[in-house]
Structure 1
């Protein structure tokens, strides 16, 4: 890199390439690593807008002698997707399905297309691409070709190499051509044409001829040999297939521009048989017998250690419940044309092995939903084992070795003995046992010289072990840097020499992903951690109790799995789905925070908490908390963002929205002085626009109207027999959150009615209270803590009595369950509150007096789950309450609504907010039948639905149940208590202008002085 004129290279790329050219520290920091143990800072990043632009990128880099790294999803576990090179990220724009030939069962794709997206586009033809790694929701086909990816379905369909027909390639020196199987006549034609292509083919001919015997003898004949270059594909008996020879070369030989793929029919039916065993070695011993008796679509395994980790983490419990008795399991999937076909295959196998479907150690399903639950446990392996609850860090390094399936049991026993010798306790063993491929993560000590030395010695010993079994160092994830240095132990000197000659034939100057596979960096070089790693250990507001009270360890939760780059389902990560930007994914932000902490001499981020690069990346984080639940290792980027903002703006003027929206609870209370006047200010023509600009609020947003009568005002005017006894088991505290109390009080009124109908005595706090959510989301954590302490004082009698606290606004309830505990982890009242707060549905489903039934609501309902509820409280109780009420609920799995509290109101975020909403929630609401209810418990969700051009208003579940109490089920949903105010008179507009000016002046003055209640929390 030192010899590359980086400034001139960047300028040349900007001039020549139609793409996004990024040499800034933030972009480089987001790409410093992949899913491996390795870290290298890129020269720059190019996001080409077309395949042609990608080709021009390579040409410009060649002029400057700059190394090039083609990158797909960046989930590589061997280090092949990190390099001190120009990174070409194909995934944002180059994701076309170029053509499909259903009759020939082929298609042509660009390298950035994601596997699940490809299969979705092929679904009308009932075709799919066969190999399916566990990263199928976000891995790109270019990356699959680079790594020769496999997955569980390789049992039926083979590896990626077995499904590639032709490739359009580009060499570093400019040859662009299609390659594939090449008969003698075709090779003669190529030779006659001369030029670079003829030279390549002649060189490959020479290498095959010179090393013919070595190639035939030296490549293990096992289903999962992924290590090394596929020189065996160039053998005469294999059709001299140059495309297949290049699959799995990890971007070290050529750049793949397009690929022609073979497709397979989507199975009509599938069934799954799960067999329990005493231990994982016994399960492995049974694999050869099962393979003799059947031809499964998948034959997967997981061990008791993984199941134990899932139980300890409280993860995938639904999957564990459907597993049969045993301490390890084999999952045998059958595919066929009918239910009878797949059932017959399973029962035939059971009969042959002397088991029965009713046995305790047998589970069988031909129900797709139950099958997915079973397989989810296996597919979750990497995430579950990456961060065990015992606090140990586990790492790749021996992630996917493979041996002949008939020798798998003995290999596992020897591998476990090696673990014991090195003191690596309890690594989980799981994987694709039908093809002899074993996955594991090992607690290597990668922060000390001794630990790194042991890491190296272990890999050398493990490589010798797998070679002794006739196996492969890699059975799925490739060689990269993790195994490149060890290839001689598997293939011998001559074949490794042949790999080197192949590399020099295609890339004589070693500019294509250098340091991987051939002439590799050492297995213990360029480590992400290492004995010289010295990160900062900053003092923080949040305590991170699940991360040894360390922000650094919290950031290190991200191991690069990349689920945050998925395109559908779940909540994570809405900003990535809208922008397709790595630095706007949870993973990209975690990488930047890791770089911000320093620890390496070449850290891309150097300004610590003041870093503008980190601020810019976090700016588009919606703080939806989707990653807290959907990320396999539970990264909580919303909390990290709040922590960062608190330090970034310490002693500095904040954005206007932090004062206007961050201090919303205070403004809401002040609105009680004259709600009509405040609404006039917020909606007066001209004044409204000025106020929004001063407040940092998007001009397109309509300010929600304050209710004429707040819930607290209604409550105080209500005639009651006295305050309920906090110690009474039927007493509950209804939490008067800001959004419900001041904007949608009908929700709280409805909740009171339903709770009282269920037999509860409702109490409401008699002093000003707030959860601090808006201060937390804007990073004003000192204020948030003061607000929470005041709230705890008001709630103390109820906390001491153990009175349940019922939350109606999911984001506020989530604060008590999660954020407050991390912010004040030693406070006993906070812990009590976290244990006593319940959602409305949880209270009615799990704690209502015996015999109570919710009011009948025989209606269809479209339901949007609030992101914080999805992440923290979950939605099971709500589903059950709706079921008991007779609601036919369609609970959306369309991701975040896009508003996300203050995010969607801020002027710089409106466009992204609407883009996120249009990706799922808003179209789903528009498509809902007119007679169905639209339910959304979150204030943000309701506001986005109502302001998103849907023509619908959303109800809280409490409101819907209250309608049921009245038997009031109109065809149209009722208006809220708080309607949009009438346009103000001219006099009112003058009054509103004065009021707006005074309010703005007060806010600005307070911001400048750091006043406005900083000493006296509301």
Structure 2
């Protein structure tokens, strides 16, 4: 960017702004793109600690003439949140709910507040903000205002513009004011005050009056018109409402500082109908009739293609099982003051259609939990369709067009014909059909010149098509760069020129998010890929079999949807939840890895695998694998981190923890060579002075207690067992390092359980290892050698097809998931992965008929290990606990924060506990004293034992084995339950 001194601007921002000012390559790379096809490297990033600090940042930029981009959650699909500008990220600090007026049903918020967080704070008042995009767990209100966001609930509550009362805004020239409806008296007051604000208001009114007829005639009268500036909000009949005129302007006119929002009551009850149709066109044809006979709060659609993708990706299968007959479906939700009232609306509609609840093409539910599962399946559309299993890449660009609902069926048929003409077959069609809004992702070729030419030509033809139906280019996501160039085809040149005049009034020097909406960059410019994109091809350690054996393609899995920026529920992403930093989210790390691979002339990461910026971003990745399951496109940052560390430290000295913790299986084995060695090691690690020195040398935080080695390992304690591998009753119990050397009583308990269930338990007579600790520290060559040795030792069992029972979730997941990727084509490793089962899987799915687990008959609080959540799943564990009479409260409180070696390493202690205190530890403290505390993961148990909870966690095997000896006492003393190993 020419015309000003960027280094001087950085110094000015640091001097003037109370916030975090970052012009480093890592920060710029993390913010280089959003959820769109576009990429522009920012000049720098400012994270203000207050609204006034954000004002100071804009003013400093204005003194230099630097462009400004005000950013919320960064999930925009049109390129609104990427620019060669100073990015102001409001989400880390400026996220307060400032006031609530329950009587007036309004509230005032800062721009960085996340929608779900806002609604949680409003819940005690029985109120909520009505519009709810699919990104509601992490989208910011400032971004919703910038994009005029909608979501499924817009059927009942309208778009964001319909729910904004006033905005406090800042112009690039420093003019600051509250904007809202302006009657004649208020208009006169503004003019009487004089100054820049008066000139703005007067200029807007004159512009409106010049284009009065065009504005009234040129704006489509449809529910979902999001494209263009809201000049219709300036009409006299609409109250000359400047706040609503600014909604949807995408940061190109003003910076939003605060917002006064209108709220709605939370419905007391709801019910859902799902109607099946032969195809998506028939579903669309039915929408006008459904709206004529009912007033649903939501009317959503998904097609057979999307359902098939969910089945292939094993996603939302429970929801799919509840779908009625058909190949496309409409989901209608009704709300009421009572369940009977909501149910009656659904039944009335069915009667008007000549159908009832027993119709095979009808599913009815008034169970809120079940309804949320169904709606989440629809919300998952972007992620499910982004990377289909057939290997195609699909992209946004025409993902949210809208027409009047009565024209929807015809529009979809013409759109499908347009797909066929360009060879874009099999694009899924879904969306908010009650308002005529269509979502889709299209397999554009954005890597080759011809493909990009077709991309541009298709968008022009699609714009002409939707304009011919009187529709909107965007029905939800806004224009940005994806549709700005096409606006004249929808509105006509006079109205687009009028929008340009509005831009000139607010931002005459074009410094506010330039190149978006008006005076836009071309739709095929600034592409994240593009014909000139030439990333480096890297040889890798893992196979990336799901990504055509291409690390770059694996990194491209991230489409920017931002689920990793959520604050509650699931596992992903614990480090982001603790720091609020973009580069500590899965998305931010993916962006930096993308930059690391190069391919663009302005790539900000230039030293490849040796990059300090990428290393620092990955350093706080817990390798919890939560993103592998919780990310809608299956980004596996734990694997990417291991890959990076392998290359980063190749031929170089590693951190001490990599040798101490990464080689833990070897050190543990050495304590078994000499009698008393384990006790000596314990004494040394816990002795005053000597223990501290040992931790310092090992790179372990001195505040961490080293786990104690058991006097004898499980393999040393066990009576020789040598059942025939060919006996179908035989199972091989996997002696992982943590269970074998630290908690051998767990393996003993599992042996009792398996024997009680009729199995013959074998145990390897030599040391075996899954290589997990070497994998997590990126010592992948060693991990490969360890796995090959293990496979040789187990070969008789593998050839016989003997089930291998894992007790430690992280090791079990490593055998099933990591090992085949490290050693692709190795048949022994493939057999090992295929034979590996959890204890619960073996007992629930393979125990002899008639066997019942011992009965515990009590409550239990359960912390599921992240790797089990992500790789193994816990359905068998839930079923086993149910059969054992456990009333299990399985926590949905995120990661425990220890995550193997992560929480032990020097520099991670505070973050580890912060993560634990955000969910797991408070939940454990709140658990009933009589409830069992269960945690199968060694890391989870260690964190719970060492944190201030007053509780000790058991492995499920321990709890069940104790019940083999008879009923547990009513108040089971957990601290005494695990005898000293």
- Length-normalised TM-score, structure 2: 0.99
Cα deviations by residue, 1:660-706 (Å, 9 ceiling, x for unpaired): 00000011111223111110001000111111111100111001110
> 2:913 maps to which residue?
914
- Taking the TM superposition and a 5 Å limit, the aligned residue runs for 1:746-785 are 746-785=745-784
Cα deviations by residue, 1:396-452 (Å, 9 ceiling, x for unpaired): 010100000000000000000000000001000000000000000000000000000
Deviation at 1:974, TM superposition (A): 4.9
> 1:834 maps to which residue?
833
> 2:928 maps to which residue?
929
- Taking the TM superposition and a 5 Å limit, the aligned residue runs for 1:79-228 are 79-228=79-228
CA distance in 2, matches of 1:490, 1:801: 68
1:680 is the counterpart of 2:683: yes
> 1:319 maps to which residue?
319
> 2:420 maps to which residue?
420
CA contact (8 A) 1:706 1:978 kept: no
Deviation at 1:193, TM superposition (A): 0.9
Cα deviations by residue, 1:277-336 (Å, 9 ceiling, x for unpaired): 000000000000000001110000000000011111111111100110100000010011
Cα deviations by residue, 1:711-746 (Å, 9 ceiling, x for unpaired): 11111xx2x5x5101011110000000000110111
> 1:957 maps to which residue?
956
> 2:464 maps to which residue?
464
- Taking the TM superposition and a 5 Å limit, the aligned residue runs for 1:784-823 are 784-823=783-822
> 2:331 maps to which residue?
331
CA distance in 2, matches of 1:213, 1:2: 41
CA distance in 2, matches of 1:374, 1:200: 47
CA contact (8 A) 2:715 2:765 kept: no
CA distance in 2, matches of 1:77, 1:663: 44
CA distance in 1, matches of 2:214, 2:852: 76
> 1:1005 maps to which residue?
none
Of residues 365-374 and 92-101 in structure 1, the stretch that sits farther from structure 2 once superposed is: 365-374
CA contact (8 A) 2:855 2:967 kept: no
CA contact (8 A) 1:705 1:979 kept: no
1:31 is the counterpart of 2:31: yes
CA distance in 1, matches of 2:604, 2:967: 61
> 2:532 maps to which residue?
532
Please give the secondary structure, in 2, of the residue aligned with 1:374: helix
Cα deviations by residue, 1:560-599 (Å, 9 ceiling, x for unpaired): 0000000000000000000000000000000000000000
CA distance in 1, matches of 2:789, 2:980: 32
CA contact (8 A) 1:309 1:388 kept: yes
Cα deviations by residue, 1:894-936 (Å, 9 ceiling, x for unpaired): 0000000000000110010000000011111111111111000
The unaligned stretches of length 5 or more in structure 2 are none
CA distance in 2, matches of 1:114, 1:351: 40
CA contact (8 A) 1:447 1:531 kept: yes
- Length-normalised TM-score, structure 1: 0.95
Please give the secondary structure, in 2, of the residue aligned with 1:975: helix
CA contact (8 A) 2:111 2:141 kept: yes
> 2:476 maps to which residue?
476
> 1:1008 maps to which residue?
none
Deviation at 1:975, TM superposition (A): 3.5
| Alpha-carbon spacing, 1:508–1:946, altered in 2? closer, same or farther (3 Å) | same
CA distance in 1, matches of 2:115, 2:793: 53
CA distance in 1, matches of 2:601, 2:75: 25
- Taking the TM superposition and a 5 Å limit, the aligned residue runs for 1:134-533 are 134-533=134-533
Deviation at 1:80, TM superposition (A): 0.5
Please give the secondary structure, in 1, of the residue aligned with 2:964: helix
Deviation at 1:525, TM superposition (A): 0.1
1:703 is the counterpart of 2:706: yes
CA contact (8 A) 1:23 1:45 kept: yes
Please give the secondary structure, in 2, of the residue aligned with 1:893: coil
Deviation at 1:957, TM superposition (A): 0.3
CA contact (8 A) 1:705 1:978 kept: no
CA contact (8 A) 1:679 1:705 kept: yes
CA contact (8 A) 1:746 1:976 kept: no
CA contact (8 A) 1:711 1:749 kept: yes
CA distance in 2, matches of 1:237, 1:653: 72
CA distance in 2, matches of 1:346, 1:921: 40
CA contact (8 A) 1:707 1:978 kept: no
CA contact (8 A) 1:708 1:978 kept: no
Deviation at 1:834, TM superposition (A): 1.1
Cα deviations by residue, 1:203-254 (Å, 9 ceiling, x for unpaired): 1011101100000000000000000000000000000000000000000000
1:56 is the counterpart of 2:56: yes
CA contact (8 A) 1:743 1:978 kept: no
> 1:1016 maps to which residue?
none
CA contact (8 A) 1:277 1:327 kept: yes
- Taking the TM superposition and a 5 Å limit, the aligned residue runs for 1:9-28 are 9-28=9-28
Cα deviations by residue, 1:630-657 (Å, 9 ceiling, x for unpaired): 0000000000000000000000000000
Deviation at 1:968, TM superposition (A): 5.2
- Taking the TM superposition and a 5 Å limit, the aligned residue runs for 1:532-611 are 532-611=532-611
- Taking the TM superposition and a 5 Å limit, the aligned residue runs for 1:633-712 are 633-672=633-672, 673=674, 674-712=677-715
CA contact (8 A) 1:707 1:977 kept: no
Deviation at 1:829, TM superposition (A): 1.1
CA contact (8 A) 2:398 2:441 kept: yes
Of residues 925-934 and 124-133 in structure 1, the stretch that sits farther from structure 2 once superposed is: 925-934
CA contact (8 A) 2:72 2:90 kept: yes
Cα deviations by residue, 1:103-148 (Å, 9 ceiling, x for unpaired): 0000000000000000000000010000000000000000000000
CA distance in 1, matches of 2:764, 2:792: 11
Deviation at 1:977, TM superposition (A): 5.9
CA distance in 2, matches of 1:167, 1:442: 36
> 1:986 maps to which residue?
none
CA contact (8 A) 2:584 2:620 kept: yes
CA contact (8 A) 1:127 1:264 kept: yes
CA distance in 2, matches of 1:830, 1:553: 25
Deviation at 1:197, TM superposition (A): 0.4
> 1:1004 maps to which residue?
none
CA contact (8 A) 1:744 1:978 kept: no
Please give the secondary structure, in 2, of the residue aligned with 1:286: helix
- Length, aligned pairs only: 976
> 1:619 maps to which residue?
619
Please give the secondary structure, in 2, of the residue aligned with 1:896: coil
Deviation at 1:4, TM superposition (A): 2.4
Deviation at 1:978, TM superposition (A): 6.5
